[in-house]
Amino acid sequence: MIMPLQSVMQRNSDGTFKRERTEWSLSNFDDGYVDNRGRFRVWSPNHPRSYKKGYILRSIVAYEAYHGMMVLPEMDIHHMDKNRLNDSEENLIMMSHGKHTNLHNVNNEAHVRRICKTCEKVFTIERWRLKDSSRGQFCSHDCFHKFTRNKPRPKMAEITKMNWQNPDMHKKRVEGLKKSWLRRKGVVQ
């Protein structure tokens, strides 16, 4: 005898079917969903690293199941083939968050290596930040300010003297001034 569908599955008050969730294990490996960043999440509400709704990255619980040890919060699981959906035992490696970030960013073409103009230290910077003229030349704000403060700058009196001694500069200044002011000073009639 075939049981009607309604008796097998429970309905919510709005008419949708309730989903019978079972906690993740290696036997129900593909029971979960792929999030908007392309990572597979599974339901494991009792896990210390699970989010509010009880979901956690499958790579974390798979690594723990394969190796029989907890993945600490400061550790990440790296996929060797860079496929986030391939959580096989030989594809997963545990590493610190900093090393994992460096591993993904160093090989990325979005970063460029530069030498600081002030301290000559080698540093990396994101390529998109090079649009700003002062970035990409200094490793820190301190080096930028040391470089700009140590630059010899002429005093205002020297600048004025140089401008008025140069005939071309004098002519440009005179042309730029209002004619009424020039008439009052007797330069133009």
Question: Which range of residues forms the domain containing residue 136?
Answer: 111-149
d(CA 91, CA 37): 19
Q: What is the pTM of this model?
A: 0.49
SS3 150: coil
Residues 62 and 115 in one domain: no
Instruction: State the virtual CA torsion across 57, 58, 60, 64 in degrees, nearest 10.
Output: 150
Profile the chain (189 residues) by mean pLDDT over runs of 10 residues. Answer: 44 68 69 85 87 88 91 92 88 91 71 84 80 73 81 68 64 60 66
Residues 52 and 87 in one domain: yes
Residue 120 belongs to some domain of the structure: yes
End-to-end CA distance of the chain: 115
Residue 12 belongs to some domain of the structure: no
Residues 44 and 73 in one domain: yes
d(CA 144, CA 2): 78
Structurally, the chain folds into a number of domains equal to 2
Please give the pLDDT value at position 35: 87
Residue 16 belongs to some domain of the structure: no
Residues 49 and 79 in one domain: yes
**Element containing residue 115 per DSSP (H, E):** strand 111-115
Residues 84 and 137 in one domain: no
- C-alpha distances (whole Å) from 121 to each of 37, 128, 139, 170, 188 are 35, 21, 7, 44, 58
**Of 15, 44, 14, 12, nearest to 28 (Cα)?**
44
Residue 186 belongs to some domain of the structure: no
Residues 52 and 73 in one domain: yes
